[in-house]
């Protein structure tokens, strides 16, 4: 099977929501990892906001991950 990495656009909204719903169910039922963090950082219920905020600065992501880790 060949996979192709694409940039998320409105064209793929339905596929993304279906995929994330499936991943979230798996996380809840099987306690699987929530990686990659950037995908789950924002709610995808408002898809335009999700799309605009999917990309993140590495320094900000590191800060957020360190903050989360300090509460573990």
Cα–Cα distance measured from residue 48 to residue 50, given in angstroms and rounded to the nearest whole number? 5
Q: Is pLDDT above 60 for 9?
A: yes
Cα–Cα distance measured from residue 65 to residue 62, given in angstroms and rounded to the nearest whole number? 5
Cα–Cα distance measured from residue 1 to residue 65, given in angstroms and rounded to the nearest whole number? 33
Exposure letters 28-46 (e unless 16+ CB within 10 A, then b): eeeeeeeeeeebeeeebee
pLDDT in the model for residue 30: 94
Condensed to tens digits (0 to 9), the pLDDT of residues 21-41 reads 999 999 899 988 877 777 888
Mean pLDDT, rounded, for 6-30: 90
pLDDT-derived band at 69, boundaries 50, 70, 90: low
Can you give the three-state secondary structure of 11-35, one letter per residue?
Answer: HHHHHHHHHHHHHHHHHHHHCCCCC
């Amino acid at each position: 099977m060949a996979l192709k990495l694409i940039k998320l656009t409105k064209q793929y909204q339905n596929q993304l929501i279906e995929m994330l719903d499936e991943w979230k169910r798996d996380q809840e039922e099987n306690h699987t990892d929530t990686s990659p963090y950037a995908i789950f950082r924002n709610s995808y219920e408002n898809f335009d906001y999700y799309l605009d905020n999917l990309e993140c600065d590495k320094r900000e992501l590191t800060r957020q991950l360190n903050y989360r880790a300090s509460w573990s």
